[in-house]
């Protein structure tokens, strides 16, 4: 009787192990971590710090974490707070960055995405929006080297990087 019970236990364990071995690994979902393929941080997560930030960022993008509840050690990954800015068509959300001598860029989001701004020929994001003929974007990075790396990945070319504010950079194909 003991031998039969032992054989039954071993057989069940073997079947369970086989079932586990045949279960495919889940496909990484950008909703779980923004660093996964297709996520907003895809290709820019080089270390545990970035991957941890990507986990929180994915939840922030989904509205599961509020900005004020975001861990301070990863707050650098969030875009700056959006402030109202007046435009010719009325009011819209965005933050205005002076650009060059007399121009400005209205950041409209999302972060690190091609064409995430509106160009104005006025220094305060007012007047009529002007066309910007080149591929360009505003990125958020820890420093200019990281910004250049992000931009080159997105634009797939050599880029010119200009710092708009601390941690905020404008990139355009050079």
Helix (H) or strand (E) holding 15: helix 2-22
Q: Select from 58, 76, 94 the last residue of a domain.
A: 76
- For residues 56 and 102, membership in a common domain is answered with no
pTM of the full predicted structure? Answer: 0.51
Per-residue pLDDT of the chain (174 residues; tens, 9 = 90+): 576 766 656 656 655 555 555 555 667 787 889 899 888 888 888 888 889 889 998 888 888 888 788 887 777 787 766 444 333 333 345 688 887 767 889 887 777 888 888 899 888 888 888 888 778 998 888 889 999 999 998 888 888 888 888 888 999 887
- For residues 141 and 168, membership in a common domain is answered with yes
Q: Select from 47, 76, 105 the last residue of a domain.
A: 76
Tally of CB atoms within 10 A around 141: 22
User: Coil, strand or helix: which one is 47?
Assistant: coil
The pLDDT score that the predictor gives to residue 145 is 92
Q: Say how many domains are in the chain.
A: 2
């Amino acid at each position: 009787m003991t031998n039969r019970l032992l054989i039954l236990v071993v057989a069940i364990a073997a079947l369970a192990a086989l079932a586990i071995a045949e279960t495919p690994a889940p496909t990484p979902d950008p909703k779980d971590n923004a660093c996964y393929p297709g996520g907003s941080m895809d290709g820019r997560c080089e270390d545990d710090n970035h991957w941890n930030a990507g986990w929180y960022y994915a939840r922030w993008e989904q509205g599961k974490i509020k900005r004020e509840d975001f861990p301070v050690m990863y707050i650098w990954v969030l875009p700056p707070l959006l402030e109202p800015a007046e435009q010719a068509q009325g009011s819209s959300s965005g933050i205005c960055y002076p650009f060059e001598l007399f121009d400005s860029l209205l950041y409209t989001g999302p972060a690190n995405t091609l064409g995430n701004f509106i160009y104005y020929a006025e220094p305060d994001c007012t007047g009529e929006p002007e066309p910007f003929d080149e591929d360009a974007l505003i990125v958020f990075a820890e420093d200019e080297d990281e910004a250049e790396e992000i931009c080159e990945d997105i634009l797939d070319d050599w880029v010119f990087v200009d710092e708009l504010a601390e941690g905020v950079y404008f990139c355009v194909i050079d």
